[in-house]
């Protein structure tokens, strides 16, 4: 099931095969933005919320449309709009070091708040913050509250400082859900909470989650049929965005899994913007978010050298399924709490180190690469330490490159390419000396 699409951007025009999952995702995104921007006409109410630990299944119980500011910032980065938005935000008074997702969002609002479909974003009716380790989110919503004068709900997720989830933590969160989150959402939406509806949504989530995990873990194969970072960012779109718990998500991940299994059977490598990757030469684990303003250029630096990312922490940014967690319809509120608690940025450093070490070992990677984001403290803090420790435990070389989320000024292509090339050659050298030994 493939559709042929001719790209108009680069001459000579090249035919790119779009897989069914790609077409499906595109349709889903377009439909979602249309639903969102026509909310003022349809009367649907809008809930703004963040990706990590989002409560999409719950939000849907109240018929609210979900709007995710980070995803909007990412879209603006990919569409080369974020640069001017960031400047606009700086003009308003946000300093150079503020998270560029925030600045892109603030700048976008200042410049008319236009969605990717060219229509105006609706004002949110409620801001729902499930706080999962990123302090900036709290400040961000303070700004939005000031702007929109709307209600704000904060679900506080305790930090996993000791590396485990306790009964108390779950109870604390469930109490917040019962006493605060749910009643407020009922009041704003005018819809009574129905726990069976939540169970049904959660049941759907689980089905999509199973397929996603199969897809991401297919990278354990050699060659890997997917890229778990650059490709992975597309794969996590629906599940961490507005679609977890929907039939659309189930369909998307079913298509995706079938495609990946087909590639696997055919012994094919990942799909890249330039077609199939011919030969896998390096297998990497990547830590940290990607750069969106030069996403393709950055990715090309990898696939041109035959480098595949087999696992990444960023593809777990919305929630971590590696250790068996799935949404559980039998414990609807507890499972929401557990989901938020397990988010990558809510895990302590030893847990992150364990996770990355396991990835290097289980996915038989050549090493760990860190893309450190200038304006992202929740990821950057401790990254050098993480690097040293993973290096020590795996005996595999690690490297460090630096860029930014959506601020184009912090992407120095020559510098990054230089480091990546050095890293690939370093791996090559290590292999050669291992062969000789």
CA atoms of 229 and 236, how far apart (whole Å): 10
Number of residues forming the site for another protein (CB under 8 A): 27
Cα end-to-end span (Å), the chain:
49
Q: Is 297 in the site for another protein (CB under 8 A)?
A: no
- Provide φ and ψ at 103, rounded to 5°: -65, -35
399, 405, 406, 408: which one contacts another protein (CB under 8 A)?
Answer: 399
Least distance between another protein and beta carbon 427 (Å): 9
DSSP string, 194-247: -HHHHHHHHHHHHHHHHHHHHHHHGGGSSS-SS-TTHHHHHHHHHHHTT-TTSH
Q: Is 415 in the site for another protein (CB under 8 A)?
A: yes
Strand partners, 367: 284
Least distance between another protein and beta carbon 57 (Å): 41
- Using the contact rule CB under 8 A, the part of the chain among 214-222, 223-231, 240-248, 394-402 near another protein is 394-402
**Residues 364-383 close enough to bind another protein by CB under 8 A:** 374
Q: Which helix (H) or strand (E) holds 100?
A: helix 100-110
Closer to another protein at the Cβ: 265 or 436? 436
Least distance between another protein and beta carbon 391 (Å): 7
- Using the contact rule CB under 8 A, the part of the chain among 93-101, 137-145, 204-212, 408-416 near another protein is 408-416
**Residues 258-287 close enough to bind another protein by CB under 8 A:** 281
* Neighbour-count burial for 26-47, b at 16+ CB within 10 Å, e otherwise: eebbeebbeebbebeeeebbbb
CA atoms of 135 and 144, how far apart (whole Å): 15
CB 398 within 8 A of CB 426: no
Least distance between another protein and beta carbon 87 (Å): 17
CA atoms of 41 and 38, how far apart (whole Å): 5
Least distance between another protein and beta carbon 336 (Å): 40
67, 174, 402, 413: which one contacts another protein (CB under 8 A)?
Answer: 402
Contact positions vs another protein (CB under 8 A): 281, 374, 384, 388, 391, 397-400, 402, 410, 412, 414-415, 418-419, 421-422, 425-426, 428-430, 432-433, 435-436
């Amino acid at each position: 099931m493939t559709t042929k699409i001719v790209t108009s951007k680069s001459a000579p025009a090249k035919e790119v095969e779009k897989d069914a999952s790609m077409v499906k995702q595109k349709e889903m995104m377009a439909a979602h933005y249309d639903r969102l921007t026509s909310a003022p006409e349809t009367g649907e109410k809008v809930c703004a919320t963040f990706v990590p630990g989002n409560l999409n299944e719950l939000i849907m119980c109240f018929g609210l449309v979900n709007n995710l500011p980070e995803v909007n910032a990412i879209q603006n980065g990919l569409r080369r709009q974020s640069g001017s938005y960031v400047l606009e935000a700086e003009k308003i008074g946000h300093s150079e070091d503020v998270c560029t997702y925030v600045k892109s969002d603030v700048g976008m609002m200042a410049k008319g708040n236009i969605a990717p479909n060219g229509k105006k974003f609706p004002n949110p009716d409620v801001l729902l913050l499930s706080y999962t380790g990123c302090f900036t989110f709290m400040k961000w919503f303070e700004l939005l509250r000031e702007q929109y004068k709307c209600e704000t709900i904060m679900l506080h997720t305790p930090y996993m400082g000791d590396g485990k989830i306790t009964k108390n933590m779950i109870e604390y969160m469930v109490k917040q859900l019962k006493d605060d989150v749910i009643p407020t959402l009922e009041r704003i939406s005018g819809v009574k909470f129905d726990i069976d509806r939540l169970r049904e949504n959660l049941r759907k989530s689980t089905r999509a989650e199973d397929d996603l995990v199969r897809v991401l873990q297919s990278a354990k194969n050699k060659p890997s049929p997917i890229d778990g970072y650059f490709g992975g960012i597309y794969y996590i779109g629906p599940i961490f965005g507005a679609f977890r718990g929907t039939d659309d998500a189930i369909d998307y991940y079913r298509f995706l899994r079938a495609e990946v299994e087909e590639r696997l059977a055919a012994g094919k490598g990942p799909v890249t913007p330039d077609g199939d990757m011919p030969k896998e030469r390096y297998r990497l684990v990547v830590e940290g978010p990607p750069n969106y303003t030069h996403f393709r250029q950055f990715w090309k630096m990898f696939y041109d050298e035959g480098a595949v990312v087999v696992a990444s922490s960023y593809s777990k940014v919305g929630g971590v399924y590696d250790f068996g967690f799935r949404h559980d319809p039998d414990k609807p509120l507890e499972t929401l709490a557990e989901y938020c608690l397990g988010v990558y940025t809510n895990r302590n450093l030893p847990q992150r180190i364990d996770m990355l070490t396991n990835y290097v070992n289980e996915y038989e990677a050549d090493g760990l690469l860190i893309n450190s984001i200038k304006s992202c403290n929740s990821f950057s803090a401790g990254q050098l330490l993480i690097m040293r420790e993973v290096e020590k435990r795996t005996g595999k070389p690690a490297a460090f490159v630096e860029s930014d989320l959506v601020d184009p000024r912090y992407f120095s292509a020559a510098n990054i390419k230089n480091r990546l090339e050095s890293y690939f050659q370093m791996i090559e050298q290590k292999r050669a000396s291992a062969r000789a030994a």
